[in-house]
Structure 1
Amino acid sequence: MSTDIENLFKDKVLGHPAGLFVLFFTEMWERFSYYGMRAILVIFLTGAITGSNPGWGWSTSAALSLLGTYALFVYLTPLLGGWLADNKIGYRRAVVIGALLMTLGHAAMAVETPTFLYIGIALLIVGNGFFKPNMTSIISKMYAGKDDKKDGAYNIFYMGVNAGAFIGIMLCGWVGEKIGWSWGFGLAGIFMLLGMLQFYFAQPLFGSLGDKPAKKDVKSIEETVDVDAEKRNPFSVVDYALIAVFTVSALIFIFNDPLSKIGNIQTLNFTVAGMSDSLFFALLAAISFIVLLIVRIPRYTKIERDRMIAFAIFCLFTIFFWAAFEQAAGSLPIYTRDFTNRVLEGTAGTVFKIVDLLVTVVPLGIITYVLISLFRKTFNKIGLANIILGTSFLIVWAIVLYKLYVEFNDPNTEVPVTWFAILNSLFIIIFAPLFTKWWDSRYNPPASVKYFLGLALLALGFGFLAFGARNVAAGAEGASLSMIWLVLAYLFHTLGELCLSPMGLSYLSKLIPTRMIAFMFGVYYLAIAIGNKLAHYVGGDIEKITQEYSLSGFFLIFTIIPFALGIVSLLLHPLLKKLMHGVK
């Protein structure tokens, strides 16, 4: 293995192994397909069933219930996929399997029938489970013993993540809205397939890195573990019972929510204290999991217990952060389509076209430069992979140039609904280096302040939306609000994300003992999954809340709750500092 790593470091691109950039482009195409599909899903499902590019006319609650269940599983299946790769099939094979399944998923969605939609969503969920955790695992193995290079490697890799999201939303969104939804879903599948092929044919570059693991001598491994530490807190019968109640209740809610809203299929069809069966099982799952933590955590030693409590508090903040932030995939596209004036005239239209050209061509030009650098170092070794990668970029450039040609020759300037979603990736690319410098300086704030900043900035973004919609009457089905409110919302949401999102895994590694990281890693990803499901469960009521109260009232929910939780985070600073026992 060490020989393979040294060989990887012989061929460098921008100071890092060429293999890192193979992973960069593979991840970029996967994020292209994921965010590209997600950008058009809700507006396709809820779009009018008439017109030149008809949607399916679903209710908002039905569309977001499906999106919420999909988003939840996106964060849970990697736990299983990571285990399979670690113990059975290897990282590289898992990536290829995952990419192939996601390609088939996007292809199924392009058929545009309910049956193929559900098949496609299922394939994307399973494929994501294989793909998502194992790209970062390969990087971790690649940089084993080279910790001084690891931070830079992950920064480059996550630039690929944001580049893929940026290009995917821009192209799949434009093609889906302007040409046809099937073409948008199909485009996501095409680039997922190209990403898989370029990774598959680039595997000789990695040697045995990420291969199927050799059979392990389980007994010898167990002998190397601190047996006393492992026996300190074994799972009891009560623990397993609580896990069973949580799992069954959560699955009933996860499946019953979309079934009841999409197909009017009431799985159990009862009410308890005025709650529907879905809400009852959601509450039961939440209570059983909280009880599980309360029962288990006190059994650890004092320092471990305290640090786990601190991390559990951070996970609670994480749930509510993502429950608000992920409105970007659900209710915000509805707001953009129905309540925002996206038509620009005269000079404003010309300025937008120029801005659109710059934010499209400049990032794509930079990424193309990285591609050419990779070609120079690796074409002799992985020529076919490079040809596939180069072909994918030629297709991207062709679509971009066609898009710009159409837009510049159109006398009417209407900003696509999906265009605003690229702002998140654009702002991350712009501001992430500044936040990195801040966190590395002596002014790096404590955890409680970071969570406050993340939640408060998120709340401020929604505050702009609430203020902008203040004059929209209750029950209004449309309006013509300024685009500036959306731009400000995405800006402050992104700044909040940069404060809070990277903190979770960072504090997981700092606060949790190695032998318990797997369990608490599951807790953290479960928190994000719950946040995603909660986001679309609440967001699905945008029409109902707008009818009964107002559009401004809907956004005030996501203004008040995150800001209040941010204040709670600040107030908890002395307690959290004590619980963390010196961890900063």
Structure 2
Amino acid sequence: MNLFRFGNLNFNNIIMVQDSSVLNQDEKKVLGHPAGLFVLFFTEMWERFSFYGMRVLLIQFLTASVLGANPGWGWSAEQAGALYGTYAMLLYITPIFGGVIADKYIGSRAAVIIGAAIMTLGHAAMAFDSPAMFFIGLGCLVIGTGFFKPNMPAILGEMYKGLPDKKDGAYTIFYMGVNAGAFFGMMLCGYLAETIGWHWGFGLAGIFMLLGTIQFWLAGPLLGKLGVLDKKPKEDTEVKSNLEEGEVKHNNFTLVDIILMVIVGIVGLVYAFNDPLSKNNVLDVFAFLDTPVLRGQNIMIIGALVLFLVLIVSRIQRYAKVVRDRMYGVILLAFFLIFFFMSFEQGATSLVLVARDYVNRELTGNSLLMFNIVNTLLTIVPLIIISWVLIKLALATWSKIALSNIILFVCFILIWGAGIWMLYNEFTAEISEIKVSWFSILNSFFIISLASSVSKIWESKYNPTAAMKYGIGLILVAIGFLILGYGSLGAGQGVKISMIFLVLTYLFHTLGELFISPVGLSYVSKLVPARMLAFMFGMWYLAIAIAQKLAAILGGQVETIQENYSLSHFFFLFTIIPAAAGLLVMVLNPIIKRLMHGIK
């Protein structure tokens, strides 16, 4: 029996491993899938509930006035964007390390439990009205996500090793759990925070994170040894035989590679923390390099990116031609991914501020009645469907994991109670102002509604190439900003934007996401040999991390651009950037196809 100990804590006891070496896939089925899939579904759902429930509040809380009924910290959009950008950037870097730790030392299941527990502490810390606890909470969320994020899909992949024909369906169900959690988290945490107080919203996120963690832990007997680290020595035959055609030796990291990685890593990390600290006049490590044109921190990060490109190109050049070309194809797609997320992630920064300050959210009479009917359907129908899935899971697994099912029922009693309380408040109000966080749920709603239809295109003869998918996705995002730019013409000085423009923006952004986000990692797995996947997935997530930081920095300029020019200028800028990137990647389609060497 393999043991991993933390002090006197035996992780084999914590994850409740059975003697059987694998999950018995034929034992219990729910909707034609192993019951364990729905344990993962609900665990991911509550984690996403907590994560997105907190995220939708972050920029609002930081920029809310320090005075008033629901005070915040009174930061500028630029200051808040700098902090949020660092937070979001680190969320995509720590999973690289969390995956390695799980693979080598503790196993995916223990990593999920550790990550979920640390995130629970993070949410709990943010429920206190204290700046120190707030920053401790953000740190815990970053570390916890590093353990949690890469290892849930790893357990799911292991579960379906013997069921390849059901794997696509399983990932679709799992993806629905992600979006259901995001949907309800943003709706309910946002409503509670905007109605009662910010830290109540942060606290609600923590409650569901805690219950989700306990539910997953108690489900151990159903999962068997899924996600448990196997420490048996592996034969090295695969290492000797997995060279690609044209290769005579493995591409090991050289001393120069390691030195470049250390330099880039240190500069990147210092920059990530220096940005919010310097913009809040706390500390500027790179101030000695400031010039009239560029700040010192920008000079340093540009230099680090140049060194990083040198590192990547030099490593790729050492591979055989076919492998080299395909990896260049991945790098090109990752480059355009930065432009997508840089624009799409305005939904977490500038669009939140626009919804709060510039959109007409007040409803009365028939308009209010229609909104309440729509909002009720949006809330109740998904809850009924997911509650039905919960009952099916409980019927199939009660004899094995009764306590886990009881925790899930407690979760649903709470979420039903919160939903009914929210709807009652809205129906009894004569005049209502739509909550800012409500607009953020539109992305999850549109994904759930449209994902199946868009995915049918990939199975038809009209399935576009990778470059064309990226081009279409980027142009759809540009159209979304074009609509909002048109709607914001003349906005300001008491004139507000009709909410229909913001709803349409989220619709087009979601369509763009469906063309890019789900297919990106698929191309990495197809183009990169198995032994290099970890390295290239790391590059992929690093590209997203860079995009998250850029998105927050640019989003933080919304107030400055609005004051000096107009709000429409800001959105037309974000129309031009993704549109130009989309057209460029389409032009490069023949080159990218050649680099893929036949991979569809």
Structure 1 distance, partners of 2:495, 2:42, is 41
Deviation at 1:509, TM superposition (A): 1.0
Q: 1:207 aligns with which of 219, 224, 240?
A: 224
Task: Kindly indicate whether residue 296 of structure 2 is the aligned counterpart of residue 280 of structure 1.
Answer: no
Structure 2 distance, partners of 1:486, 1:268, is 39
Q: Over residues 385-419 of structure 1, what are the superposed CA-to-partner deviations in whole Å (9 max), with x where a residue is unaligned?
A: 00011001001001111111111001112100000
Q: 1:137 aligns with which of 145, 154, 176?
A: 154
- Name the structure 2 match of 1:451: 470
Q: Over residues 118-169 of structure 1, what are the superposed CA-to-partner deviations in whole Å (9 max), with x where a residue is unaligned?
A: 1000000000011111111111111112211111110000100000000000
Structure 1 distance, partners of 2:144, 2:338, is 24
RMSD: 1.7
Equivalences, count? 581
- Name the structure 2 match of 1:235: 253
Contact 1:176/1:183 (CA < 8 Å) preserved in 2?
A: yes
- Name the structure 2 match of 1:307: 326
Deviation at 1:337, TM superposition (A): 0.5
Code of the aligned partner of 2:318: R
- CA change 1:212–1:310 in 2 (3 A) is closer
Q: 2:41 aligns with which of 3, 13, 24?
A: 24
Q: 1:35 aligns with which of 42, 52, 55?
A: 52
Q: 1:559 aligns with which of 575, 583, 588?
A: 575
Q: 2:435 aligns with which of 400, 405, 416?
A: 416
- Name the structure 1 match of 2:367: 348
- Name the structure 2 match of 1:90: 107
Structure 2 distance, partners of 1:471, 1:500, is 33
Deviation at 1:380, TM superposition (A): 1.0
Code of the aligned partner of 2:269: L
Give the 3-state SS of the residue equivalent to 1:502 in structure 2: helix
Code of the aligned partner of 1:528: I
Task: Kindly indicate whether residue 24 of structure 2 is the aligned counterpart of residue 12 of structure 1.
Answer: no
Which stretch of the first structure deviates more once superposed, 278-287 or 457-466?
A: 278-287
Give the 3-state SS of the residue equivalent to 2:121 in structure 1: helix
Which stretch of the first structure deviates more once superposed, 301-310 or 231-240?
A: 231-240
- CA change 1:218–1:4 in 2 (3 A) is closer
Q: TM-score, normalised to structure 2's length? A: 0.94
Structure 1 distance, partners of 2:356, 2:422, is 20
Code of the aligned partner of 1:244: V
Q: Over residues 407-448 of structure 1, what are the superposed CA-to-partner deviations in whole Å (9 max), with x where a residue is unaligned?
A: 100111210000000000000000000011111112111111
Q: 1:163 aligns with which of 180, 195, 209?
A: 180
Structure 1 distance, partners of 2:213, 2:406, is 13
Structure 1 distance, partners of 2:531, 2:582, is 31
Runs of 4+ residues deviating >4 angstroms: 1-6, 217-230
Q: 1:70 aligns with which of 80, 87, 90?
A: 87
- CA change 1:374–1:133 in 2 (3 A) is same
Q: Over residues 534-561 of structure 1, what are the superposed CA-to-partner deviations in whole Å (9 max), with x where a residue is unaligned?
A: 1001111111111222111111111101
Contact 1:109/1:120 (CA < 8 Å) preserved in 2?
A: yes
Structure 1 distance, partners of 2:239, 2:330, is 28
Q: Over residues 211-263 of structure 1, what are the superposed CA-to-partner deviations in whole Å (9 max), with x where a residue is unaligned?
A: 23325357677556549958342222332232222112211211100111234
Contact 2:44/2:181 (CA < 8 Å) preserved in 1?
A: yes
Which stretch of the first structure deviates more once superposed, 185-194 or 260-269?
A: 260-269
Q: 1:267 aligns with which of 262, 275, 285?
A: 285
- CA change 1:510–1:223 in 2 (3 A) is closer
After TM superposition, the structure 1 = structure 2 runs for residues 539-550 of structure 1, keeping only pairs within 5 Å, are: 539-550=555-566
Give the 3-state SS of the residue equivalent to 1:379 in structure 2: helix
Task: Kindly indicate whether residue 196 of structure 2 is the aligned counterpart of residue 188 of structure 1.
Answer: no
Q: 2:508 aligns with which of 482, 485, 492?
A: 492
Deviation at 1:180, TM superposition (A): 1.0
Contact 1:5/1:143 (CA < 8 Å) preserved in 2?
A: no
- Name the structure 2 match of 1:147: 164
Give the 3-state SS of the residue equivalent to 1:344 in structure 2: strand
Q: Over residues 563-583 of structure 1, what are the superposed CA-to-partner deviations in whole Å (9 max), with x where a residue is unaligned?
A: 011110111111111111111
Q: Over residues 91-122 of structure 1, what are the superposed CA-to-partner deviations in whole Å (9 max), with x where a residue is unaligned?
A: 11111111110010001011121111110000
Q: TM-score, normalised to structure 1's length? A: 0.97
- Name the structure 1 match of 2:8: none
Contact 1:8/1:205 (CA < 8 Å) preserved in 2?
A: no
Contact 2:251/2:319 (CA < 8 Å) preserved in 1?
A: yes
Structure 1 distance, partners of 2:89, 2:230, is 29
Code of the aligned partner of 1:201: L
Contact 1:230/1:515 (CA < 8 Å) preserved in 2?
A: no
